[in-house]
Structure 1
């Protein structure tokens, strides 16, 4: 029963390599710091570009609001076709707009999704979907003699997505170089730091079994000196034990030599 229990008991875990443990302890926090750095750099670079695109949308909404007219008690948009063409012209994205009167009735433009009338902030930016495409939209309220007119201008997100890809690509390469350089520095730093241990190991392995002289501890770091002193103490004890055994054997041989010599003499007689 005891043997069965002993056979099923888990084997003790080996401590593993000191170098591997040091590398794990150093690289784990470095990896976290690098990820945080990339995330921070990404948002730091993305926010100004996003704000610039949003400001362009807001400027377009203000330009549309400048063409809103009140005629015969109705809201009209006096926007020439050429101005509409300029508004909708974009190399990457589709541009949409919508104008609604103070009551929320449609005046001109596209059938963009409506915005709650209780919205107070102006301009207000929101992500939405239109014709199955994600769009970035600005809501701008312009005062008139009949009340506030709501202007919505939206654009698809193609150039924003391309900008995000460029930012990510621009951040990945320097950070990959930084990560690689950090890994190399940590690896060689740990290797250099553990070099005294390697020298002690090489000195022990190169010794003859009969060489029980103390190990050299002049170039050994402070952290390793207690280990070297303990080894030297052990070597000293082994050396003293070996010398005692040699003295005992020498004395025993001397004690046995005289009786044996007498016996040999008697045999010869």
Structure 2
């Protein structure tokens, strides 16, 4: 009985906790998604500045174009040092300036594109655009490793899943302990009734019983009293019947003995 109650209570508690956990994950994801969209917009605003940083074509063959990073791009790279990068490539994809790991498929249009690049154990958000620069048509790209999507995925286990698992486990232990403690008086009463002799109809001590089960003990005592009264009535009936049967039999026996003595005389 207590095991069934534990399971029911655990189910009733776990379902709301799971729903709350799912709602928390969804809200956290929406927050990270909004931050990621703002992050993408920032990269989009920096791409034209990076294109404008390419001032002129190379002076000599096998040399890169003349580059002077615009202040916004320079600030971005400095603020995200170690988690950012850039590249300038020709339309064929050959690296002219910047970091070789900042790469993606060469866009076929001048519309900006976004890609993900794995480098050094970090997932970078890369914004790429093909367009006109001071050195002709080139492909510029900016990479940022502080993408909120990546941070959200890394923190999901610690911020959402693990705390909820601990909460569910603690709730299960609390329910197991609370139900066992709450129903211990009832279990003790059931064991006491089972251990009684079938002929023992004496009342159970209500004062010694916990307040939670006293109404049940009172009802059991009433039942014992009724059964005892019926049994006592049956015992009296049997005793009276036996007495009434003994009296005629005793007279008949005396009569038979008298006739036997007369026959002998």
Aligned equivalents of 1:62 and 1:173: distance in 2?
43
Query: Relative to structure 1, is the Cα distance of residues 107 and 170 closer, same or farther in structure 2, using a 3 angstrom cutoff?
Result: closer
The answer for the alignment partner of 2:190 in structure 1 is 201
Quick check: 1:19 aligned with 2:8? no
- Within 5 Å, give how 1:101-250 maps onto structure 2: 106=94, 108-109=96-97, 110=99, 112-118=103-109, 120=111, 122=112, 124-129=113-118, 134-142=123-131, 150-155=139-144, 164-166=153-155, 168-171=157-160, 174-175=163-164, 178-179=167-168, 182-183=171-172, 186-187=175-176, 190=179, 198=187, 201=190, 204=193, 209=198, 210-211=200-201, 242-243=231-232, 245-250=234-239
TM-score by structure 1 length? 0.55
Q: How many residues align?
A: 241
Q: Measure how far apart 1:250 and its partner are.
A: 1.6
8 Å CA contact 2:89–2:96 kept in 1: the answer is: yes
SS in 2 for 1:63: helix
8 Å CA contact 1:139–1:150 kept in 2: the answer is: yes
The structure with the larger Rg is: 2
8 Å CA contact 1:113–1:130 kept in 2: the answer is: no
Pairwise CA RMSD: 5.5
TM-score by structure 2 length? 0.56
Query: Relative to structure 1, is the Cα distance of residues 40 and 134 closer, same or farther in structure 2, using a 3 angstrom cutoff?
Result: closer
Moved more, 204-213 or 249-258: 204-213
SS in 1 for 2:67: coil
SS in 2 for 1:61: helix
8 Å CA contact 1:97–1:153 kept in 2: the answer is: yes
Gaps of 5+ in 1: 1-14
Q: Measure how far apart 1:242 and its partner are.
A: 2.9
SS in 2 for 1:249: helix
SS in 2 for 1:17: helix
Aligned equivalents of 1:21 and 1:150: distance in 2?
62
The answer for the alignment partner of 2:83 in structure 1 is 93
Gaps of 5+ in 2: 58-63
Q: Measure how far apart 1:114 and its partner are.
A: 1.8
